[in-house]
Amino acid sequence: MARATLRDVAQKAGVSASTVSRVFSRPEMVAADVRERVEEIARELRYLPNPIARGLARQRTGNLGVIVPDIANPYFTPLVKSLQSDARARGCNVFVADTDEHASRERDLGIAMSQQVDGIVLASPRMGDDEVRALAADVPLITIGRLVEGVSGVGTPANNGIRQAVELLAAQGHRRIAYLDGPPQSFVAVQRRGATLDAAEEFGCSVEVFGPFQAAVNAGRRAADLVLASDVTAVIAYNDQIAFGCMARLKECGRRIPEDYSIVGIDDSSVAEYCEPRLTTVRVPIVKAGALGLDILWDLMNSPRDRTPIVEELEADLVVRRSTAAR
């Protein structure tokens, strides 16, 4: 079924191609009667402007790229969904791509995308600063989560919330804390570990670091056995999924949460609500960061290039639930 083209409509309506084009791009520029007739015929022929051709001519595609390390991670899904609907509200389609946590795939995808989207949202980039900057030089781009010098983005440092978590645990009488480290590719992981170490020092706790672990439930289960073999009384995990897995396994091994172990996650993704008991966690406002980032990206896309990068940071706070308690 060959699609109707602009010329088909123009011909049948007895007007020029430009007129039909205008009817679809700047309707106000064409006389009402002509416009209606064209629209009528277009409908008849089931004509729709070809976005590829339009993209070539306009030098803009109307597409937005979103790159995430793992679309199956419940931390990213709400971000993706909210970006999708925000973008749609602005008349953009969204290209989502998953890098499987690989920096190299992230780079390749970014390069491949850069020519078919008007802008890219790069969530928690795994590639190096230089590579991000190189990509940002080719296409309007913002990062979410991690900030890269010289590139616009919205950072979501968890330090504040992590400090609150350690403060809470210390107040609850915990002195020996396990930190379950995140995947080595994750820049955020080193931040979070550092924040935990700093806060522990501040509040007089010792920290034993386990890991690295992939950001997944099963990795957390593996962590639990390490925790059991140590003498810690509380656990802070790189993210909620690891915390969830660790908690599940600890319970399997007959430990009670929070009586025997206090557990803190990071992210406040949906799993935190589904844990039993519900998980105390650091709420990282990633959806808000995404919305803000999209605003920034929008400016970047619609304004003369070479602006100085716009950078925001959104703080994270601890959400206290049932998985932490006094010893």
Partner DNA sequence: ATGAAAGCGCTAACAG
Partner DNA sequence: CTGTTAGCGCTTTCAT
Q: Which does 320 bind (CB under 5 to 8 A by kind): DNA, a second copy, none?
A: none
Strands 317-319 and 280-283: what pairing? antiparallel
Residues 6+ positions from 305 with CB-CB distance below 8 Å: none
Backbone angles phi, psi at 179, to 5 degrees: -115, 120
CA distances in angstroms from 64 to 84, 114, 120, listed in the order given = 9, 10, 6
Sign of CA dihedral 266, 268, 274, 280: positive
With binding defined as CB under 8 A, does residue 106 bind a second copy? no
For residues 27 and 194, which CB has a smaller minimum distance to DNA in the complex? 27
CA distances in angstroms from 276 to 66, 273, 286, listed in the order given = 33, 8, 24
For residues 22 and 321, which CB has a smaller minimum distance to DNA in the complex? 22
Q: How far apart are the first and last CA of the chain?
A: 71
Minimum distance from residue 95 beta carbon to a second copy (Å) = 6
Q: Kindly list the residues in this chain that would bind DNA in the complex (CB under 7 A).
A: 5-7, 14-19, 21-22, 24-26, 28-31, 34-35, 47-50, 53-54, 56-59
Q: Which does 249 bind (CB under 5 to 8 A by kind): DNA, a second copy, none?
A: none
Q: Which of 251, 255, 322, 327 binds a second copy (CB under 8 A)?
A: 251
The two structure tokens encoding residue 246: 């660790």
With binding defined as CB under 8 A, does residue 150 bind a second copy? no
Minimum distance from residue 80 beta carbon to a second copy (Å) = 6
Q: Which does 98 bind (CB under 5 to 8 A by kind): a second copy, DNA, none?
A: a second copy
Q: Which does 21 bind (CB under 5 to 8 A by kind): DNA, a second copy, none?
A: DNA
For residues 206 and 270, which CB has a smaller minimum distance to a second copy in the complex? 270
With binding defined as CB under 8 A, does residue 285 bind a second copy? no
CA distances in angstroms from 163 to 37, 114, 152, 180, 236, listed in the order given = 66, 38, 26, 16, 11
CA distances in angstroms from 270 to 137, 239, 244, 262, 275, listed in the order given = 35, 12, 11, 19, 9
β strands within 186-324, DSSP E: 206-210, 234-237, 262-267, 280-283, 311-313, 317-319
Number of residues that bind a second copy (CB under 8 A): 43
With binding defined as CB under 8 A, does residue 264 bind a second copy? no
Minimum distance from residue 199 beta carbon to a second copy (Å) = 29
User: What residues line the site for a second copy (CB under 8 A)?
Assistant: 1, 3, 48, 50-53, 55-56, 61, 63, 71-72, 74, 77-78, 80-81, 84-85, 93-98, 100, 111-113, 115-116, 137-138, 217, 244, 248, 251, 270, 273-274, 276, 305
